[in-house]
Every structure is written in C-alpha cells, then in structure tokens.
C-alpha cells in the first residue's frame, strides 16, 4: 500500500530549476500564497506540499503544488511556464516509474540462472517484474510463438526443472508485446519502462553475477591448491593409476550463504565421489548445508576421518554468527548392527 507521503516527490531545488527561478524566489512566492487566506491563490500543506524539516521549513511538493506555483507565475509574471512545468512533471513521473521498475527488478531477479551462456528468469519473477498475471503472460508467449519472428526454444525460453523460464531476449520480447497490447495506459507505460530501464538494470545484475562467479572459481582454485589437491575426508590424491576428479565444496552452501561463497575458509577439497555422496545424503544439491551437516556426514559415513573433524570445528569457530544446522533431514534411521550371539529385539 502506498505511503501517505508518496505523492510528494518534487524537491524545492528541482522545482525552482524547472520554473527558472532561485530557491529564494520560490520561498517568496510560497510566502505570498500564505499572506492572504481570502484570495484565489492557495498552497495547502498535505495537498500541495509537506515539510521535510519544520525547523528549516524545507518542503517537498506534489504535482498539484508544482502546477499551482506555475499557474501563479504565468498569471503574475507572464512567464508562459505551463507547458514547461507539464513537461517537467511528466518527465519527473517517468523518473519515479523508472526507479520503481529498477526496484522491482532487483527484488525479483533471484532466479537469474546462466545456462549455455544465456541468463534465464523464472516465470514467477517475470510475472512480478512485468506486473501482469500468469494468464496474460501466457497469452503474450503464445502470440510471440506464432508471430513472424517466433520465440525459439533454448534461445528465448527453456524448461528448467520442469518449469518454463525466459532468457533475457525472450523477457524483452514479452515486455515489448505487453507494452503494445495491454489496454491500460499505465500498464503499457510500465512494460515499456521495463523494456528500456530493465536492460541497463539487468545488465548490471548479470555483470556482477559474472564477476562473482569468477571470484568463486578463483577461491575454489586457491582451496584446491591449499589442500594440495587432496580429499580432506579420505586423504586420497589423484594419481596416474587412480584417477578421479577433485571438487571444491562450499561448507556453508553458496546459494544460501552467498556472503561466504568467495571465502577460501568456507571451501574444502573433496574427492568427486565423496562430494556427490554428501549431497545425496543431504537430500540433493539444492538443499542448504552448513558445517554441522558435513560434520554429521563424516561421523556417519567416514568414521576414521578424525583429521577433517578438527578442520571443520575450526571452520565452525571462524564463522560463529552463522547458523550451524539446517532443517532436520528426513532420512531413514540406520539399523543398529547386531553383535554375534545378540538376539534381535
């Protein structure tokens, strides 16, 4: 729900510049409005302006306030400012809309995934950014699939984990379609802004994601070098006669603890088979994991690996403010071994 102050967005300096007057002259005009309560000129707090500082009488204006002052100047000083102030307010509204478009994109781009050199957005995030419905997005998608320049699988859209997602090229095609086809003028303007402002915003987001991935890869390489390309659980190292891949594992999962993703201290070198075994034990690569999960895994599956436990408890002490356990995994309990001669219960 919009704040009560959301209609007040025009700063004094911006309004004075648009009216081609000084801030001091703007103060004089406002004082004139207040001097005679019985004349036709009225500037009301709460409708035309609000104070941002009562002490210094700093104000911020609504569109109505800007129009009222422009009308006064046109009437008393013959400045012919009306067209200019209309243009200023229109441009100001566009700037506000663009700012909210950027905000919407930043808040709904967590699904951005790089796949075969292209970034894809989930359908959920696409609907949120375009401020439309699933049904309307589906209609645009079908229209574009059957257009003269149809959307292409793997290029403009794809299926990831059974759900449709859109590459940035497909996303921009959808925003253009909606900006032309929607009946609401405001919604058309929003989708047009997404197409224009969104390109720069998403370019910045993907550039940062690419840079972050490079930093993660660098940290992984440093971790493997630190660990001498040796699995820290089994103490095995690839040789000519025993070849296997080595993985740098994020102790606190990079997706769920992104602030630790580039920390070499949060990485441990594991034999690829052990790495896969851990994530299967942890119910999939997509599940969050922490240092306690790896400790539990070692205690259950690699009972003689005492050295790695010392290392993991050191990691635990390095990140004391991080959660140390994830939600309880629903794994089948391990049956107890029956000793020779022991009767089953």
Closest CA to 95 of 59, 63, 50: 63
Residue 161 confidence (pLDDT): 85
Residue 5 confidence (pLDDT): 54
Q: Which of 26-40, 182-196, 223-237 is least confident?
A: 26-40
Predicted confidence (pLDDT) at residue 308 exceeds the cutoff of 80: yes
Residue 344 confidence (pLDDT): 43
Residue 188 confidence (pLDDT): 96
Predicted confidence (pLDDT) at residue 310 exceeds the cutoff of 90: yes
Predicted confidence (pLDDT) at residue 342 exceeds the cutoff of 90: no
Predicted confidence (pLDDT) at residue 102 exceeds the cutoff of 80: yes
Residue 341 confidence (pLDDT): 44
* Mean pLDDT, the chain, integer: 91
The pLDDT-based confidence of 3 (bands split at 50, 70, 90) is low
Predicted confidence (pLDDT) at residue 340 exceeds the cutoff of 50: no
Predicted confidence (pLDDT) at residue 93 exceeds the cutoff of 70: yes
Closest CA to 94 of 203, 192, 174: 192
Rounded CA-CA distance 292/313 in Å is: 9
Predicted confidence (pLDDT) at residue 226 exceeds the cutoff of 70: yes
The 10s digit of each residue's pLDDT in 186-216 is: 999 999 999 999 999 999 999 999 999 999 9
pLDDT-above-90 percentage for the chain: 82
Across 226-235, average pLDDT: 97
Q: Which of 75-89, 92-106, 144-158 is least confident?
A: 75-89
Residue 316, classified by CB atoms within 10 Å of its CB into exposed (0-12), middle (13-18) or buried (19+), is middle
Predicted confidence (pLDDT) at residue 257 exceeds the cutoff of 60: yes
The pLDDT-based confidence of 328 (bands split at 50, 70, 90) is very low
Across 247-273, average pLDDT: 96
Across 319-338, average pLDDT: 58
Rounded CA-CA distance 184/199 in Å is: 23
Kindly report the length of the chain: 345
Residues 127 and 137 sit within 8 Å (Cβ to Cβ): yes
The pLDDT-based confidence of 35 (bands split at 50, 70, 90) is confident
The pLDDT-based confidence of 322 (bands split at 50, 70, 90) is confident
pTM equals 0.78
Predicted confidence (pLDDT) at residue 335 exceeds the cutoff of 50: no
Structure tokens, 337 = 């071994």
Q: Which of 7-21, 30-44, 99-113, 292-306 is least confident?
A: 30-44
Closest CA to 121 of 180, 187, 169, 189: 169
Rounded CA-CA distance 271/305 in Å is: 14
Would you give the distance in Å from CA 264 to the centre of its chain?
25
Q: Which of 22-36, 125-139, 144-158 is least confident?
A: 22-36
């Amino acid at each position: 729900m919009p704040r009560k102050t959301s209609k007040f967005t025009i700063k004094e300096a911006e309004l004075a510049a648009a009216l081609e007057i000084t801030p001091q002259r703007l103060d004089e005009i406002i004082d004139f409005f207040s001097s005679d309560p019985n004349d036709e000129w009225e500037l009301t707090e709460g409708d035309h302006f609000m104070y941002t500082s009562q002490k210094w009488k700093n104000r911020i204006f609504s569109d109505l306030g800007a129009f009222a002052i422009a009308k006064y100047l046109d009437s008393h000083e013959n400045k012919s400012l009306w067209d200019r102030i209309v243009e200023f307010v229109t441009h100001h509204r566009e700037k506000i809309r663009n700012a909210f478009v950027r905000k919407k994109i930043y808040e709904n781009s967590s699904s951005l995934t790089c796949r075969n050199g292209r970034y894809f957005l989930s359908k959920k995030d696409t609907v949120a950014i375009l401020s439309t419905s699933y049904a309307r997005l589906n209609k645009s998608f079908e229209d574009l699939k059957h257009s003269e320049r149809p959307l292409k699988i793997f290029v403009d859209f794809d299926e990831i984990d059974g759900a449709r997602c859109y590459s940035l090229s497909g996303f921009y095609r959808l925003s253009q379609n909606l900006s032309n086809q929607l009946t609401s003028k405001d919604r058309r303007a929003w989708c047009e802004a997404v197409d224009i402002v969104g390109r720069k915003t998403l370019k910045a987001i993907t550039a940062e994601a690419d840079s972050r991935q490079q930093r993660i890869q660098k940290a992984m390489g440093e971790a493997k070098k630190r660990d001498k390309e040796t699995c820290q659980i089994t103490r095995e190292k690839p040789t000519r006669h025993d070849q296997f891949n080595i993985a740098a594992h994020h102790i606190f999962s990079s997706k769920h603890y992104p602030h630790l993703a580039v920390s070499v201290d949060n990485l441990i070198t594991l034999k690829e088979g052990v790495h896969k075994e851990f994530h299967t034990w942890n119910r999939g690569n997509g599940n969050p994991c922490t240092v306690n999960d790896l400790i539990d895994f070692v205690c259950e599956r690699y009972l003689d690996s005492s050295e790695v436990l010392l290392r993991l408890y050191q990691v635990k002490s390095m990140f004391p403010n991080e959660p140390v356990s994830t939600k309880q995994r629903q794994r089948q309990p391990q049956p107890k071994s029956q000793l020779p001669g022991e009767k089953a219960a």
